[in-house]
Chain A
Amino acid sequence: MTNQDDLTVARAALGGDSAAVNAVLGELPYSLAVLLSKCTDSDSEEKAREIVEDLPGDLLAGVDRDGRTVKLLEMYQGRASLRSWITVVALSRLKSWWRGPGYRRRERGVEPHQDQGVSPAERGDGSDGEPYDSSDVLALLADALTDSLRSLTPRESVCLRLVYLHSVEQQRLARMFGCHAATISRDLDQTKSAIKRRLLWNLKLLDPFLEITWDDCVRLCASESISIFDSF
């Protein structure tokens, strides 16, 4: 893992280590600067500050899920530097807010910066109205999906990977476990439903403004793998 030091800091922060917490919070001014550099109107700047102000609570205090507190920082898996990851999360929230009904550009005569307040159709990029920036969402999607898989039991995880990654027939699994193939099929169905629910929940935790469906996730996953953490 290329960002092991950052991962260690994140885990220490989640464990309550005050120096690590300060290190995590110390990344926020950078994220705010990136967000502000994308804004061209006062509403957006205000929202950018609000998003960054909310991050400490989301990252380290967490929200309730199924009777358990889940902290956003738990989703960090060291794929990018902590600074980049936090910035991608914040930027995704800002971009989703721009696309939502809450945002109306009030300052006329100001050219929007890049994709600020501009739909893909308006940009003319031919992306058939896809309501988000794929590169940002891909970054979040990988983390959300990995976290979803981590929630499975070893048996669930192994069965799912054997069938859908390694193309092992369910009959073979049934023989291995000494059960009927229908049992394997039923278990896989339950596991897949759990993954779908958890994936969308995780994405909502990462970016509460993001409007994305299961089909959107699949379509994004089918796209080419691209470099996603250096786009800002």
Chain B
Amino acid sequence: MDEEDQFRTLFGFLERFETDVSGRSADSLDVEMEAKIRGLAAGTLDNSEREEVLEQVSRNRAGLELLASCLRN
């Protein structure tokens, strides 16, 4: 298993573990936050806005999932 797969395994474990223990987080996103995340994904935020949104996304499962979805599409 290379290092990339090792880290996928680690995150998979943590994701599974958190779900097993406490269930899915009920994090929600308001319209303003959604817009900011879409802006982050599009690369249209200035530095301070970007850092602010990253800080919020790092603590919000739904925010991270939305960001991932925007970046994949």
Query: A residues within 8 Å of B by Cβ?
Result: 1-2, 79, 141-142, 145-146, 149, 154-155, 157-158, 160-169, 172-173, 175-178, 192, 195, 214, 217-218, 220-222, 225, 227
Contact = CB atoms under 8 A, between A and B. Distances in A.
B62 interface: no
A168 B71 contact: yes
A165 B11 contact: yes
B: interface residue count bin: 20 to 34
Contacts, number: 89
Contacts of B6: 214, 218
Contacts of B20: 225, 227
A158 B58 contact: yes
B31 interface: no
Interface in B18-72: 20-22, 40-43, 50-51, 54-55, 57-58, 64-65, 67-68, 71-72
A169 to B, nearest CB: 8
A173 B72 CA distance: 10
Nearest to B65: A166
Given A145-B14, A154-B55, A221 B9 contact: yes
Given A154-B58, A176-B43, A145 B16 contact: no
Nearest to A221: B13
A172 B6 CA distance: 21
24 contacts: A142-B14, A142-B17, A145-B10, A145-B13, A154-B55, A155-B54, A161-B64, A162-B67, A162-B68, A163-B7, A164-B7, A164-B10, A164-B11, A166-B65, A168-B71, A176-B42, A195-B7, A217-B10, A218-B9, A220-B13, A221-B10, A221-B12, A222-B13, A225-B13
Interface of B: 1, 3-4, 6-17, 20-22, 40-43, 50-51, 54-55, 57-58, 64-65, 67-68, 71-72
Contacts of A222: 9, 13
Contact of A166 (B14, B51, B72): B72
Given A154-B55, A166-B64, A172-B72, 13 more contacts: A2-B21, A79-B22, A145-B13, A154-B54, A155-B51, A158-B58, A162-B67, A164-B10, A177-B43, A192-B7, A214-B6, A225-B13, A227-B20
